[in-house]
């Protein structure tokens, strides 16, 4: 009988030791997890202590659900006031949600690179650099007479043929009403269309000359 | 005698079955929120299936969440 009692006490002691170690570990890990979510660490510790105080209730379950579906300060925009106060896993009514859960994207840096138009001609090739030093360029079939004229020496290209416009890192194209026509990725650009943004276009056709648009 | 043994075996099987089902139900109530926590942290939601492991399953999930870097980012120390 004495042996049985000792064995029983041993098992109880083992269970108790396991429970204590588990509780300490749980408190430590809960502290770290809620901190990663942006809540103060003591809320995690408090949740575990509360769980221990009301053993075998649904309290830990409720806290887990609240924590899983609540708004985490981590997801708030950086400028928001960190007024999370007591809205921890320990409950409390959720405060009004912010307008967005994720921080707004950083403003995109303007792409300062220039553009280039490359294509083949019956008697050679043509490569035009659009560096953005001017706000408008004229595409012409005649030899370039000015810095803002870009020559595409081909009989099907008008003199002038089209106008390139540069504004705020974007490239525009305007047809000047020629017989050969201007095409953006295969679609006809008419003079009445006015300038079209071709920043995302790949292929420009002037008359019969195919040009590939890319960033310089 | 045979009846008694069969009775005991049957009872035991029933008890095990009930225990297993109860365990699954409790695990399900743990897995659903944990799945969401894991995905919000950037881990696979399947990590929460460790709750199916009896006794130490919850410890494994918590340890992974507590001691690894969250792929989806953690709150900066200044905001804690």
Clarify whether residues A127 and A60 are in a common domain. Answer: no
Searching chain A, which residue's CA lies closest to the CA of residue B32? A65
- C-alpha B15/C-alpha A46 separation (Å) is 35
- Residue A209's domain comprises 115-215
Please report the ipTM that was assigned to this predicted complex. Answer: 0.80
Residue A106 pLDDT class (50, 70, 90 cuts): low
| CATH code of A180's domain | 2.60.200.20
Clarify whether residues A194 and A123 are in a common domain. Answer: yes
Give me the pLDDT at residue B16, please. Answer: 93
Searching chain A, which residue's CA lies closest to the CA of residue B74? A36
Clarify whether residues A129 and A188 are in a common domain. Answer: yes
Q: Is residue A14 part of a domain?
A: yes
Q: Is residue A143 part of a domain?
A: yes
Clarify whether residues A122 and A184 are in a common domain. Answer: yes
Q: Is residue A91 part of a domain?
A: no
Dihedral (CA of B47, A60, A100, A42) sign: negative
**What is the SS3 assignment for B79?**
helix
From B53's Cα to the closest Cα of chain A, the distance in A is 15
Residue A45 has pLDDT above 90, yes or no: no
Give me the pLDDT at residue A93, please. Answer: 40
Point out the residues of chain B with pLDDT beneath 50.
Answer: none
A140-184, pLDDT tens digit by residue?
A: 988 888 888 888 888 889 888 999 988 877 888 999 888 888 999
Q: Quote the pTM value.
A: 0.47
């Amino acid at each position: 009988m004495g042996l049985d009692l000792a064995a029983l006490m041993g098992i109880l002691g083992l269970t108790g030791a396991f429970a204590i170690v588990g509780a300490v570990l749980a408190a430590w890990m809960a502290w770290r997890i809620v901190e990663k979510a942006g809540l103060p660490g003591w809320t995690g510790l408090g949740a575990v202590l509360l769980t221990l105080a009301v053993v075998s209730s649904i309290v830990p379950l409720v806290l887990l659900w609240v924590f899983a579906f609540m708004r985490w300060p981590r997801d708030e925009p950086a400028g928001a006031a960190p007024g999370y106060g007591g809205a921890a896993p320990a409950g409390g009514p959720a405060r009004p949600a912010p307008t967005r859960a994720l921080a707004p994207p950083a403003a995109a840096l303007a792409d300062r690179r220039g553009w280039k138009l490359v294509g083949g001609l019956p008697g050679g090739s043509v490569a035009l650099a659009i560096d953005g030093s001017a706000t408008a360029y004229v595409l012409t079939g005649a030899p370039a007479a000015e810095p803002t004229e870009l020559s595409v020496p081909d009989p099907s290209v008008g003199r002038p043929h089209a106008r390139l416009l540069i504004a705020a890192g974007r490239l525009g194209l305007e047809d000047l009403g020629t017989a050969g026509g201007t095409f953006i990725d295969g679609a006809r650009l008419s003079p009445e269309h006015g300038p079209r943004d071709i920043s995302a276009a790949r292929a420009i056709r002037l008359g019969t000359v195919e040009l590939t648009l890319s960033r310089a | 005698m045979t009846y008694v043994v069969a009775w005991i075996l049957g009872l035991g099987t029933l008890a095990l079955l009930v225990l297993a089902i109860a365990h699954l139900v409790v695990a399900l109530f743990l897995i659903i929120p944990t799945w969401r926590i894991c995905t919000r942290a950037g881990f696979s939601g399947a990590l929460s299936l460790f709750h199916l492991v009896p006794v130490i399953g919850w410890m494994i999930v918590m340890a992974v969440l507590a001691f690894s870097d969250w792929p989806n980012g953690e709150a900066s120390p200044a905001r804690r």
